Amino acid sequence: MTLRFISFFAGIGGFDLGLERAGHRCVGQVEINEFCQKVLVQHWPDVPRWGNIKELDANDLPEADLWTAGFPCQDISNAGRCTGISGERSGLWRELVQAVRLVRPKRLLLENVAALLVRGMGTVLGDVAESGHDAEWDCLPACAFGARHIRDRVFIATTARPLDLADCFASRGDDRRPEAVRRWLSDAGIGRCLGWGPWAAESRVDRTAYGIPRGVDRKCVCGNAVVPQVAEFIGARLVDGTG
């Protein structure tokens, strides 16, 4: 099943790249950062794009099956002020909720730092439920996909109808990697994630990560980005019907 998706808080397109690698199609992007916009324009020149989500008229958005959103984590992260989802940056979640309730997309795929579990998860799940969606979630660390850092992130998958993501998001014992992740790594071959090909989790070239060249504002945008390999894994589950 191939989905048309709109990427909110798109950043440099980590969600977009991963989902397109899994066979889905990006039909819209929302991102305010000017540097990130330049990256998006370079790689998705034909995709319509919007800036400030506060000024967005959701009625102008193209039809899509899925909305993705790695909404701001600055007020949620342990590295920030820890004010939670009501903070100035992370509070932009409310703007997304308003758009969801207006347009009523069939699916949402949300991402944030694992600290969301203690600094706003109840708010997110409550808003999702009030918007008519069921949700399941789990933390998927980048290290499970071959990265050299943990980068634990919570992913929340919602749908307007009952959804069974137990196979996709199910941790086993003390192993933080979900069973489906371990099976996927085994089926695909460990070299896919740990090898030095174009889809490697870390580049062999000095001063680069995720295969993105070093440049102006690189550290900031990479730090905020969704790891494409994780997005690809989730997107593949949507294609084969297990998500």
**HEC states along 83-120?**
CCCCCCCHHHHHHHHHHHHHHCCCEEEEEEEHHHHCCC
What CA–CA distance (Å, rounded) separates 144 from 181?
Answer: 7
One of 73, 139, 168, 193 is an active-site residue; which one? 73
Looking at residue 242, its pLDDT comes to 54
Global model pTM greater than 0.85: no
Mean pLDDT calculated for residue range 40-68? 97
Q: Which residues contact 91 (CB under 8 A, 6 or more apart)?
A: 75, 85
**159 is written with which tokens?**
């749908």
CATH topology of domain 4-240: Rossmann fold (3.40.50)
Average pLDDT over residues 3-17: 96
Model confidence at 107: pLDDT above 90: yes
Q: Where are the domains of the chain?
A: 4-240
Q: How far is it, in rounded angstroms, from Cα 34 to Cα 28?
A: 16
**Per-residue pLDDT at 162:** 53
More confident residue, 20 or 146: 20
Q: Is 222 a catalytic residue?
A: no
Residue 28 has pLDDT above 90, yes or no: yes
Half-sphere exposure (Cβ direction) of 220: Cα atoms closer than 13 Å = 9
pLDDT tens digits along 181-225: 455 445 444 334 433 344 444 444 444 444 444 454 666 777 678
DSSP summary character for residue 161: S
